[in-house]
Amino acid sequence: MKKDIRFYLIRHGRTVWNEQGLMQGWGNSDLTEEGVKGAKLTGLALNDVPFVAAYSSCLQRTIDTANHILDGRNVPLFQHNGLNEHYFGSWEGTNVELIRQTQEFQQMVSDPVNYKALTNGGETWEQLADRTTKAIDDIIQIHDNGNILIVSHGHTVRLLMAIFGGATWQTHRDPGRSEAMKNTSINIVRYVRNGQADSGRFIVEKVNDTRHLQL
């Protein structure tokens, strides 16, 4: 079956825990006023895009962001737990500065292969890559063409965009392979499959675009 899907991947709006410098992961905090504004500006920037469906993680900050982006448009919004943020275990809710210098934290941000999440009991990068790519595969199975909005999280979107661009979970933090996702930045990737014998390919069109937030 031929497929031609364009994904618009958005990191959620800025939250209270973002402001406080706390590890968020599967924990949740409300969008700030800035976060709501960013989501609404993203909605304005994407207002002319005819979305056939929207997907968010199961965490409220992405659901709220998606609703602000869609702003009452007649677009079905679904949740998929495969789009949830990286799980940080016992680090959830911890101030980043208290753990930044630990070996495990440094491995998480710069050495994915050796980050085993042994101290915090969280997810490894391999586990995150497995569930997030499966989520994208699930969505591709459902849709044949059209524009799809995906609202997810910093680590999740950064990893996916790197993989779409040819990196692996092992290499996605190598210099030049990826960049930290800004809140409500726009990322666009096209998925094309020409037939049953074709395994399909991703074409990255835009990464971490925040021009719409300068208004």
Segments forming the whole domain that contains residue 62: 3-214
| Res 195: pLDDT | 80
CATH of the domain at 10: 3.40.50.1240
Share of the chain above pLDDT 90, in %: 96
pLDDT at 1: 84
Rounded mean pLDDT of 85-113?
Answer: 96
Q: Contact 2/193 with Cβ under 8 angstroms? A: yes
Beta bridge partners of 204: 189
- Residue 184, CA distances (Å) to 36, 40, 50, 72, 181 in order: 10, 9, 19, 18, 8
Q: What is the pLDDT of residue 197?
A: 78
pLDDT in tens, 11-21: 999 999 999 99
Tell me what the mean pLDDT of segment 94-114 comes to: 96
Looking at the structure of the chain, the number of domains it has is: 1
Which pLDDT does position 176 carry in this prediction? 92
Count each helix (H run) and each strand (E run) in the chain, helices first. 7, 6
Q: Is residue 55 within 8 Å of 151, Cβ to Cβ?
A: yes
Non-local (6+) Cβ contacts of 53 within 8 A are 75, 76, 77, 78, 142, 143, 146, 148, 149
- Model pLDDT for residues 158-184, shown as the tens digit of each residue: 999 999 999 999 999 999 999 999 999
Assessment of whether the complete model's pTM goes beyond 0.75: yes
